[in-house]
Structure 1
Amino acid sequence: MSDRDRIQSLERGIEVLRAFGGREASLSVAEIAARTDLARPVVRRILLTFEHVGYAVATNGQWTLTPRVLELSAGYFARSSLPEIAYGFMGEVVERTGMTCNVDVLDDAVQVIHVARVEDHRPLPESVRIGNRLPGHATAVGKVLLSALPLDALEKRLRAAVLEAHTPHTITDVDELLARIALVRSRGWDVSIEELHPGQVAAAVPIIADGRTVGALAASSSTVRQTAETLRDEVVPVLRSCAAAIGTAYRNANPQLFLRGE
């Protein structure tokens, strides 16, 4: 796409919306400007526009998004039944493992995005909400999703990405990461031990429908409750069983997506 085909004001508006992706309930113009690298007057005009269409509201200089902003995600959820279908099985993962369960899909480059989540009654301190993005290279669910990419596309993405070290256990070397993802591809699951946050662990498997990876199912916990061995021996089998059921249900609900020859 050439620059002349892009609408810069629209891109800036999206950047402002994404600034609200953290844990804060509200943000000031200055805080949003700092997060987006946009000038404060630009941020202010964008927020006033969002207020005009009902997507944002200001109280004492602090801006918050309104429930109406959920309209923007309605198209995705109407098109993709994956989150809706997955919820019917995710409760079983939580019940059988005592862990928080989530479904993710590959976003852009090497990032993944949460599209469904069911919390254990003991939520993790760094819990992630639906719509939040995570670095694929530092998560089990990310490496599972990346393993579905063709090798040339995978290597191109990894070498172009900034692979941040979130903990001492994060893999940031591209060759080492490619080797790890190759292992994930061959065995069909991954376990992450403190790669994204200290004290947190996770296991993940692909959700496969008609031979195509349509998402990934993951369960996360802490090092106090789980080890690499228990994740591999006890949690991964549960995830595989539920992911298979989700994949079958998704395939049956969306036959038009799996027409032969497409």
Structure 2
Amino acid sequence: MKNKNSIDSLIEYIKNVLSEIPNFKLVQTDPNASKLFNSIVAKYSDIQSFKTLYKMYYIPAANRAIIDTRKELKTSIYKKYIIITDDELKENYYETIRLGYVGLFHKIENFVKEMLVQANLILNIHKEEKDSIENYYKNNYKFTFNNWKEDPIIEKINWISNCEKHYDGFPLKEPNLLNLPKYEKIKKVHEDFYKDIDYVAEIFYKNKLLEIFMLSSFKMIKDYISENTPTDEIKQKSLIFELTVKDYIKSKRI
């Protein structure tokens, strides 16, 4: 049986996430929806291409370089004087992966920023005074959308990225999340790196998208209530929704 197209699966997921927003059509009919739709697909496609670049080009090239260097060392007329460990030979391979974590974390940051931009565009339709869900949740619930520590895998990706950028790959960023020796550079293998990319694309992106638009929907309801005379039914649903939001935010602080 043919596997389902991954982009089709993503689009169906997005449609379900956004279906709760009143009068919001995901594709074509609403320009803001169309912009959001294409932005999400572009970000998802980008991270898939990122994985392909590493899997098909960067990692194979790093491995070929190791093989070539080994051959050169074996045939060198000075080989009896050369003492190089296997880990030293593989440093370019490990560095390639560490740099991959830097790139991966930048993609995570950019995804969250872009989704917040798109959510705020929808939030501020027909509003004279522009608002942002970031400010609303920071001021009213002390909640931020870029608390990387709430997700252990994202925190790890951020940590490796910071170690590479600021400590030349040494695990000196405190706390030492992986309990690695401080005077040896981080050595991650490509299989683990690919798993982390898949986690970001298949789980984190989807969860963060759901979070942003769930909380954005609640903000829209609160705005509607403050600007109109809602029915008792709408007020009751708003209270129930607020309890859900509070429980969700509380769960992120555990």
TM-score range, shorter chain: under 0.3
Choose between structure 1 and 2 for higher RCO, CA contacts under 8 A separated by at least 6 residues. Answer: 2
Give 1 or 2 for the bigger CA radius of gyration: 2
Task: Determine which structure has the larger helix proportion and give its number.
Answer: 2
TM-score between the two structures when normalised by the length of structure 2: 0.24
TM-score between the two structures when normalised by the length of structure 1: 0.24
